[in-house]
């Protein structure tokens, strides 16, 4: 069974989410598609949406421990736009500030993302703050940025965790994966019994 077809959703059967096939009935299938707002996309008979896109009232009342069933006229309504948020935060003092956010599609162009990050670094430095590190999760957009900067970390490759600070070659910009995100992933895996 494939992963969820909703834009920005990576839930799947493998991650222990209940997956629902698109209705065979053309009118109902059209209704689902309209709610998803995924332009120019046509589902196959194997396409699925995961359970999180259906509100509570879309499910049949089941007995305790019974299997979860969608009502026959259920429509998915819970969709979110994927977005990218960039924040600045202090190291020696506690502060943080959102400086940019973008509503994105399923992926972000690495070159565009790179230019945005360099622009933010330059503006941050211009007001007298020193940029020392870039912290991000391991999402595909961030990995594309890592690749562009030849940042590598892994059992079978040489560790490369910094680059010359854009606009000032004499200083280093360290690139660090988001450790709280790692804890969140471990928690989710434990809760969902995936080891």
Q: Which residues bind Zn ion (CB under 5 A)?
A: 4, 6, 9, 11, 50
Give the residue among 106, 107, 134 at the shortest CA–CA distance from 118: 134
User: Where would I find the beta strands (DSSP E) of the chain?
Assistant: 19-21, 48-50, 83-89, 96-103, 133-136, 152-154, 157-160, 162-165, 168-177
Residue (9 or 175) nearer to Zn ion, CB: 9
Minimum distance from CB of 142 to Zn ion (Å)? Answer: 21
Query: What is the C-alpha to C-alpha distance for residues 4 and 29, in angstroms, rounded to an integer?
Result: 15
Minimum distance from CB of 83 to Zn ion (Å)? Answer: 16
Residue (50 or 145) nearer to Zn ion, CB: 50
**Helices of type H across 25-107:** 26-36
Facing residues of 21 across strands?
A: 48
Minimum distance from CB of 57 to Zn ion (Å)? Answer: 18
Residue (74 or 117) nearer to Zn ion, CB: 74
Residue (6 or 121) nearer to Zn ion, CB: 6
Minimum distance from CB of 44 to Zn ion (Å)? Answer: 16
């Amino acid at each position: 069974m494939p992963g969820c077809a909703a834009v920005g959703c990576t839930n799947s059967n493998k991650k222990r989410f209940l997956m629902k096939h698109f209705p065979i009935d053309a009118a109902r299938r059209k209704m689902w598609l309209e709610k998803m707002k995924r332009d120019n996309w046509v589902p196959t008979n194997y396409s699925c949406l995961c359970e999180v896109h259906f509100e509570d009232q879309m499910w049949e009342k089941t007995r305790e421990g019974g299997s979860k069933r969608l009502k026959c006229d259920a429509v998915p309504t819970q969709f979110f736009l994927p977005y990218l948020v960039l924040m600045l935060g202090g190291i020696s003092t506690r502060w943080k500030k959102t400086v940019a956010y973008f509503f994105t599609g399923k992926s972000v162009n690495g070159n565009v993302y790179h230019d945005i990050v360099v622009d933010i670094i330059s503006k941050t430095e211009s007001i007298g703050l020193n940029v020392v590190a870039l912290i991000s999760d391991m999402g595909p957009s961030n990995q594309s940025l890592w690749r562009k900067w030849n940042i590598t970390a892994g059992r079978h490759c040489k560790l490369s965790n910094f680059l010359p600070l854009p606009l000032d070659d004499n200083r280093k910009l360290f690139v660090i994966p988001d450790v709280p995100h790692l804890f969140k992933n471990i928690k989710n895996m434990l809760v969902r019994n995936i080891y």
